Amino acid sequence: MKHFLNEDSESLREKVVILDFGGQYSMLIARRIREAGVFCELLPFNAPWAKIAEHYPAGIILSGSPASVNQVNAPRCDPAVYKSGIPILGICYGMHLMAKELGGEVEKGGRSEFGRTSFKIVEKEPLFGDQIFALDDSCNAWMSHQDEVSELPTGFTVLAKTENGTVAAIGDHQRKIYGVQFHPEVFHTPGGNNVLKKFLFSVCQCSKNWTPGSFVNDAVKKIRETVGEGEKVVCALSGGVDSSVVAFLLDRALGERAVFIFVDHGLLRLKEAEQVVKLYKKGLKGEFILIDARRRFLEALAGVTDPEEKRQIIGAEFINVFKGQALAMGDITYLAQGTIYPDVIESGSIQGAAVIKSHHNVGGLPEELGFDLVEPLRELFKDEVRLVGAELGLPDKILKRQPFPGPGLAVRIIGDITAAKLEIVKLADAIFRKEIQRAGADEGLWQYFAVLTDVQVVGVKGDDRHYGPVIALRAVASEDAMTADWARVPFDVLEKASLRITGEIPEVARVVYDITSKPPGTIEWE
């Protein structure tokens, strides 16, 4: 099959396909490849060849997996993959699988290798002939395996070996099929990115054409093709990065045929709703509808203390408000949403994780609204959404916004929600954020915010006894919110924040700092 450039795309986008065997780093492989300037898609490991071929891949990567190739029902890909003539890179399990399927042997090795392992390069080209690896033929890499290739398939040679003598990389130059035992995609494999790039550019001959600019051109073209002449799209704005980028893409593609609805539920941070309104009103050509639903949400939430119930109420209320407005407009055909790639990937892994929080997203609207969907960010990772936003000229204030839960401050007030409590948490949160930023302590932080607890304590303000609530400050470092470390915010920043919060918010009696990581905690308190 011929190396292919997608004809109906102005940017001539090339693609690499990653077959996902459920390895913990599959998504990371995809991100690394995109960062290298090549577009890629993750497909389930068992995607039939016809499905894979639809993508006209320039290369195929077989990911790692928690499985062993020798177990019963080991996950396999369509064998047509090996006969396609398309370059292949197998990573860990991916290497074992192709070695076995092509006639080699894989065995449980005498010594498992987990973590940092060093290996020696036997042949530099085509995977290793680059900077870091070339400096010294002995390299470190991140491994996590028990199985190893014990016999090579015909046509293959060993390209690298670990200190234990285990095969670390193999290749068949004729068929352009390669395999590495280590994980080139992880941070702990220095030079791993170079291996991926060598595969992309030397073996697959990809060109570097995946850029935010090319995405914007493609997306604008696609939106115009989808939304016919004279048809209109409605878009729910939340103030977050994703919906803002969708809005500005729609604006570029459709101008006045895009209509925007911002439901102010009163649960955003201090002055945030005003900022959002200002930015959108100024920046968008289409009609901008602001619905002040603050009282309606407060009434619906009155007396509710259960976190999940709060989420349900806010989600349902949002849909009702939005629906009422959107349907009343009458002439709308499409609904635009900020769905991103991690939400749509159909992973090869079996997922049975317990639901800890329902994570209802305000802005995530149900199908029964009856509109056709436009989801221009479906193929982007979060960091790519930010790059596209920058390309569209969105300000840092939006692009660098911390992740913020859809139900907003409702899950940062423990217990029932009142207007007075909202005011307290908004002020405390604004002070904490300001002090962190002023000290430049936000570097590397994923989120930092204040929580209003439902604990009342005794304090002394002036010469008087004071009885009031406790504010908890939370700051975490994280890569993806799946795990998080409590952040070592400097004491003097905490002290300043504490002094200001107790001094400027009369009700607050005490400030505490949360030193719980995730797990066992979660990032939000509810």
CB of 13 to ligand XMP, least distance (A): 30
**What number of CA atoms fall less than 13 Å from residue 199's CA on the CB side?**
34
Residue 126, preceding peptide bond in cis (omega within 30° of 0): yes
Catalytic one among 55, 96, 145, 183? 183
Alpha helices of 168-211 — where are they, by DSSP H?
A: 192-197
Q: 260: closest CA among 269, 272, 279?
A: 279
CA distances from 453 to 173, 301, 473, 501 (A): 63, 17, 10, 14
| Annotation marks residue 92 as catalytic | yes
Task: Annotate each residue in 278-317 with x if it binds ligand XMP (CB under 6 A) or - if it does not, as one string.
Answer: ---------------------------------x------
Q: What are phi and psi of 131, to 5 degrees?
A: 0, -100
- Least Cβ distance, residue 352 to ligand XMP (angstroms): 18
Minimum distance from CB of 450 to ligand XMP (Å)? Answer: 13
User: What H or E segment, with its residue span, contains residue 264?
Assistant: strand 258-264
Q: Of 199, 161, 163, 197, which is closest to residue 181 (Cα–Cα)?
A: 161
- 407 scored as a contact of ligand XMP (CB under 6 A): yes
Q: Is 338 in the site for ligand XMP (CB under 6 A)?
A: no
- Shorter beta-carbon distance to ligand XMP: residue 138 or 522: 522
For position 461 contacting ligand XMP by CB under 6 A, the verdict is no
Given the residues 14, 113, 148, 185, the one annotated as active site: 185
Any contact of residue 477 with ligand XMP (CB under 6 A)? no
Give the Cα separation of 474 and 492 in Å (integer): 15
Nearer to ligand XMP, 420 or 482 (CB): 482
- E strands, 92-222, are 105-121, 138-151, 157-162, 167-172, 177-180
Kindly state whether residue 447 participates in binding ligand XMP, applying the rule CB under 6 A: yes
DSSP result, 486-511: E----HHHHHHHHHHHHHH-TT--EE
- Smallest gap from Cβ 10 to ligand XMP, in A, equals 34
405 belongs to the binding site for ligand XMP (CB under 6 A):
yes
Which structure tokens are listed for 394? 């969105």
Q: CB of 478: closest distance to ligand XMP in angstroms?
A: 8
**3 catalytic, yes or no?**
no
- Of 187-195, 320-328, 354-362, 434-442, the window that binds ligand XMP (rule: CB under 6 A) is 354-362
Of positions 38, 380, 425, 523, contacts ligand XMP by CB under 6 A:
523
Residue 185 phi, psi (nearest 5):
-80, -15
265 contributes a contact to ligand XMP by CB under 6 A: no
Member of 197, 198, 360, 433 binding ligand XMP (CB under 6 A):
360
At a CB cut-off of 8 Å and minimum separation 6, what does 301 contact?
A: 310, 313, 314, 410, 416, 417
Least distance (Å) from ligand XMP to the CB of residue 392? 22
479 vs 495 by CB, closer to ligand XMP? 479
Closest CA to 389 of 149, 510, 158, 212: 212
Which of these segments, 38-46, 184-192, 399-407, 500-508, binds ligand XMP (CB under 6 A)? 399-407
Verify whether residue 7 is a known catalytic residue. Answer: no
Buried b (16+ CB within 10 A) or exposed e, 42-53: bbbbebeeeebb
Applying CB under 6 A, which of residues 118, 157, 456, 522 lies at the interface with ligand XMP? 522
Q: Decide: 406 and 361 in contact? Cβ < 8 Å.
A: yes
Span from 3-11, 162-170, 355-363, 367-375 in contact with ligand XMP (CB under 6 A) = 355-363
The residues that touch ligand XMP, with contacts defined as CB under 6 A, are 311, 356-357, 359-361, 403, 405-407, 447, 481, 518, 522-524
Which residues carry out catalysis?
92, 183, 185
